[in-house]
Amino acid sequence: MHKVIAAAIDSNILSTSESFIDQCCGQNAEYARNYDEKIYEFRAPPSKHLAIVCCMDARLDIFRILGLKPGEAHIIRNGGGRIRDAVRSLVCSQTLLQTREVMIIHHTDCGFTYFSNNNQVLAALKLQPGTDVGNLPVFQTIPGQVQESNKPDFMPIIDLEQSIRDDLAEYKKYPMLNQNITVRGFLYNTKTGLLKEVI
Binding site per annotation, positions: 55, 57, 107, 110
Residues constituting the chain: 199
Strand intervals (E) in the chain? 50-55, 73-78, 101-107, 182-188, 195-198
The annotated binding site for Zn(2+) is made up of 55, 57, 107, 110
**CA-CA-CA-CA torsion sign (170, 104, 141, 162):** positive
User: What is the helix (H) or strand (E) element at residue 5, kind and residue range?
Assistant: helix 2-11
Q: Which residues contact 119 (CB under 8 A, 6 or more apart)?
A: none
- Measured from the Cβ of residue 27, the count of other Cβ atoms closer than 10 Å reads 10
